[in-house]
Structures are given as C-alpha cells and as structure tokens.
Structure 1
C-alpha cells in the first residue's frame, strides 16, 4: 500500500474510513512511519508559499503544536461530532498533522489554499472533550460545547486566545509575553500558572478558579488579583465581580479526568453540565427538585450510572424518553 499517496488524499479530505484505519494501523505498528510522515510534511512545508509569519513562530508551530483528541465514551452517541477547524492554514495544516497523535483520525480538518494564516479555531462539541498544546508549550483542555481561538500573532507580542465555554490551562512560563484568555466580558491574564475558566453563553455567571500561581482578572470597570484556591465570579446581569475562597479548587478541573465534582450544586446546575458532557437533553417534570443540592465526586461513569447515583441519594427518579432524560420527584 502506498502510504504517501494516502497521506496526500488525507490532506485533501478524500480518504475513506477504511483508508484512515489503514493509516492508523501503519502509524501504530510500523516503526518507520513517524519518520516517513515527518519527512513528508517537512517537504510540504518547504514547498508551500511563505506566510509572512516569523521564522521563530513557524518553528514553534511546526515542533510544538499537538492535537490530542480525547475520545469520551457516550452511550449510543457517535464520535463524529468533534470538529477542529483551522481557517486559511494550508501550510500549517501540514505542520500540525506532522505532530499529531494517532487519534487524529477522529477529527475533521478544513482549510483554504490561501497562504496567510488568520485563525486557528478548535471546537469540542457536546459530548466531546479535546486537549491541545499551543505553540509556546501551554497545555489546554477544552470541555464539551466549547470553542478556543487564536491567530498567527500568538507569541509575537503577547499570547492571546479567545474562549467560549470552558477550558483548563497549564500556562508555559514566559515573562516577556503575557498570556491572556478573553471571554468577551472577562479577561484572565497570567504569566505562568494553572487555572480553569468557565464562560458559557447561555449561563449568567463567568468563573475563573486558580489552582497555581497568580492571575489578574479584568471585567468592565473592575479588576482583581487571584491567589491559589480563589475563584472570581462575574455576573453578566448584575455586572458585578466577586472573589471567593474555595476549599477544593482542584475539583474545578475534575472534568479533564472524566470526573464530576459537585460542592453544593443544585440539580438544575448538574443537569446542565451532564447535558453538555453527554450530549443529551435533560428535562424536569418537577420544579421543586431543581433546587436539590448535591456534593461529591463521581468518577468515570456513564450517564445512566450518574443518574442512578443521584436517584439513590435523593428522592429523584429519571426516565429515558427517546433522546431525552426526564427527571421527576419520587412519588
């Protein structure tokens, strides 16, 4: 089998599932596959017209960008929902694919033939999670129903990304280039630290929880400095920013390990998170149970098992109806 020809087809999005499986088997079992792929994409890199991006940044993007897509098992759900989109990055698509792990074949790549790099956009659909390494070595875990964007100026003067949804960051230290996460209404600035940001469009509150280091929070007309085990909360409707102490800041990124951690969360809040995580609509037949509170950590469970745990620890029953879950008060 001509694997170079398959790589060419894969770059054009023309491979069949059988051909992608053949590529995957080749990478997993042929000791020379990685060097062959590296040489192939290095050649493509050199043959593609210059993008105008600095040589230093090109090198970082070639050597450091990795996309490690976490396959999250979901009952009766297809993994085809995850999309990773790079716009106008023909040249960089080759570099990125050269450093990808073997799970790359569950992703989709879209690019144009234009040489100017504008945006890198990473999506994690409902029921999916993704993780990646940015050009500077910063590690990012992207939660379900979330989007992360950055452009070709990343790392030139500053390291700026835009986030919709939730992500956990382990920021590479670089005192000369500030690291900035923008959610639209809250900006989080760090030099080298670990923190979790949650900013979903359909929720009123934006939160940043600090695990290590120090971050600066900026919202319209307000600023705050976070220390470890503190959380900043910004209310969209109230336009108010507050900082609180949290006992278990480490639980804020439990989702990166496939865990659900709740500390006094209402059932309504839990249902929203489960809906995103498992890509299932969850409805309530009783408004009363929405305010029930739960605390604890649930590890590596299917949606049904999570609901069983909830029903065993509270007067709540559930019913699966088509593609929805109905929650009601136990009679």
Structure 2
C-alpha cells in the first residue's frame, strides 16, 4: 500500500469515518509492516496492542495541532500536503521512539536476539539505533537504556547504525574487546570460532579497546584484532560499498581465501560445503549475484580458483582436480 493510501486511512481512523473494511485494511498494513520490517521485542499481544495505541495517540496529537483555526487559513492543497507530511512524520517518529514510552518496570529487562544459520534480522533499539544481524549471531541488550552508557553484548556479524547521544555513549562488548561510539555506522565481525575480530567504520569515530590497549578508528578504516596475539592493526578499507552491500545481503570477495569465502557462504546461505586439498588457500575474486543459487556460485568459484566441484547428497565438495591440477 502506498504512503498516500496509508495517510488517508489513518486520517479516517482518527476522524472516526473509517468503515469496518478500512479499519481492517489499516490493521493489516500495520501487522505486515511489523512482520516485514523491524524486530520488536513484544512479550504478548496485549503489549503490542498497547504500543500500537500509543503510536496512534501520538499521531492524533500531531494531527490536532495542525487542525487549528490558524491552519485553516492555508490553501486547501497546502493544508492537505502539510497534514499528510505531519501524519507521516508522526507514524515513523512514533515507531522509532516507541520503546521510550515503555513502563519503567520493564527498563531493566534484558532482550536476547539470536539468528540461525542462513537467517538475518533487522532490529530497532530503544534509542532509535538500527542493527542488521547476520547469520549465527547473538545479541543481548536492555529493553530500555537508562544507565549512563548504552551497553550491548554481541557475537557474530552485524552492521550498526547508532543514534547520536553524546551524553550516553554506545558500547559494544565482544568477548574481551569493547567498541565505544557516540553516533556512527560500522560493521563488526566477531565470531567465537574466528581468530580475528574485525571492525569496519563508515561514519563517525570509534574507540576500540582490549586488555588495556586502545586504538581510534576513523571513517574509511578498519581494525583487525588478533585474539591469539592481542595485536590490533588499523588498515584502510578497500571499498566502503562492500560493507553496505553485505548489510543489504550482497556478498563480494576481493582476493579472499577460498576457506573464508566458503565459511561465509555456508553460514549466510545455510549450505553444507566441504573443502579438500590445497583449494582452501587459493584466492578468490568475485561475488554472489542477486538470485544466484549456491550451486551456481560454487561452479563459478571452482572455475576461478581452478578447482573441481562435486555435488553430494548433503551439499558440495570443492577439491583439487581443475584444469591445471
């Protein structure tokens, strides 16, 4: 449903002129938006209904502010545009700020979000921050941020778009490391099984620290932390678009070891892929095209790195035996 149709239905709902069919249509739009968009940590249907009621009350309040004698002097067309704009702002502002109106008794409640193999989730935090959680990841945070800092516990891979709040720094805890930000966007890869933790920064500034040592990262840079040696290395990002592409489900690899590529594809596309021989150490340059199946991608990978792809009952095997082996 287009935005203008949503606005029209909401106005009818607020005016009390909506038909039963229109009320059902508006309710259906709300539920579909909730399911397809952000992840909301509702405990039960009653809490969700209460949240929805607050959104509409906020919109109604803004609508009434527009509908004053002074505003009626505005030309009809301009009035409609102004009302529509404020209603839309009310919708999205209400959604973004929703958790700030939760009952104080829930302030300390912890929320845990886990993604399975091949699963991805988009999460809205109480402060308006957004997190794109990749496969096999684990995120724990408070339902409401009431302390001096906004702390979360994280493992896996995620893209963070953090709302600015200078008075309350946002801190990501990943095992023995912490990433401290005020308002910025970045990607962290911190799987427990991986030897390295990697942070790639797009906007803002972050402080990455561990074991008493700290390094600052600026936009266009990445930091690689070796968990075995405790070494932190800051490098220039080869291309920031690769980071936002991953956030949007597009995967590109530039001179990446086949073993790392296979692990990444296996995790994000829920595929079982085995490696044999020296293939794992060869370098791959390519990407997963939109709509491409895992098998199609692996056939391309095998051709590029001069390997042989074998399809088995439970997945695939990449082994030596290419044209030049």
Q: Does 1:291 align with 2:244?
A: no
Q: Is the 8 A contact 1:190 1:214 kept in 2?
A: yes
Which of 202, 219, 222 aligns to 1:211? It is 202
Which of 155, 159, 168 aligns to 1:177? It is 168
Which of 17, 22, 31 aligns to 2:25? It is 31
Q: Distance in 1 between matches of 2:49 and 2:308?
A: 47
Q: Deviations over 1:11-59 (max 9, x none)?
A: xxxxxxxxxxxxxxx999932316998xxxxxxxxxxxxxxxxxxxxxx
Deviates most, 293-302 or 319-328: 293-302
**What's the TM-score once normalised by structure 2's chain length?**
0.68
Q: Distance in 2 between matches of 1:147 and 1:97?
A: 28
Q: Distance in 2 between matches of 1:220 and 1:210?
A: 21
Q: Deviations over 1:255-304 (max 9, x none)?
A: 22221121221000001101101222221122x11111112333322211
Over alpha carbons, which structure has the higher Rg?
Answer: 2
Higher RCO, Cα 8 Å, sep 6+:
1
Is the partner of 1:30 in helix, strand or coil?
helix
Aligned residue for 2:261? 270
Q: Does 1:159 align with 2:112?
A: no
Aligned residue for 1:239? 230
Q: Is the 8 A contact 1:166 1:196 kept in 2?
A: yes
**What's the TM-score once normalised by structure 1's chain length?**
0.67
Q: Is the 8 A contact 1:211 1:250 kept in 2?
A: no
CA apart distance, 1:250: 2.7
Aligned residue for 2:95? none
Q: Distance in 1 between matches of 2:132 and 2:227?
A: 24
| Larger relative helix fraction | 2
Gapped runs of 5+ residues in structure 1? 1-25, 38-65, 71-83, 100-114
Q: Distance in 2 between matches of 1:233 and 1:192?
A: 21
Aligned residue for 2:101? none
Q: Distance in 1 between matches of 2:272 and 2:254?
A: 23
Which of 173, 181, 191 aligns to 2:182? It is 191
Say if 1:36 and 1:305 are closer, same or farther in 2 by CA, change over 3 A: closer
Q: Distance in 2 between matches of 1:265 and 1:228?
A: 22
Correspondences of 1:1-331 after superposition (within 5 Å): 30-33=24-27, 68=36, 90=43, 94-95=47-48, 118-152=109-143, 154-286=145-277, 288-300=278-290, 301-331=292-322
Q: Is the 8 A contact 1:69 1:129 kept in 2?
A: no
Say if 1:292 and 1:207 are closer, same or farther in 2 by CA, change over 3 A: same
CA apart distance, 1:164: 0.7
Q: Is the 8 A contact 1:172 1:192 kept in 2?
A: yes
Number of residue equivalences: 249
Is the partner of 2:308 in helix, strand or coil?
strand
Q: Distance in 2 between matches of 1:126 and 1:27?
A: 40
Q: Distance in 2 between matches of 1:321 and 1:164?
A: 32
Say if 1:29 and 1:274 are closer, same or farther in 2 by CA, change over 3 A: farther
Say if 1:291 and 1:132 are closer, same or farther in 2 by CA, change over 3 A: same
| Larger relative strand fraction | 1
Gapped runs of 5+ residues in structure 2? 1-19, 53-104
Is the partner of 2:145 in helix, strand or coil?
coil
Is the partner of 1:259 in helix, strand or coil?
coil
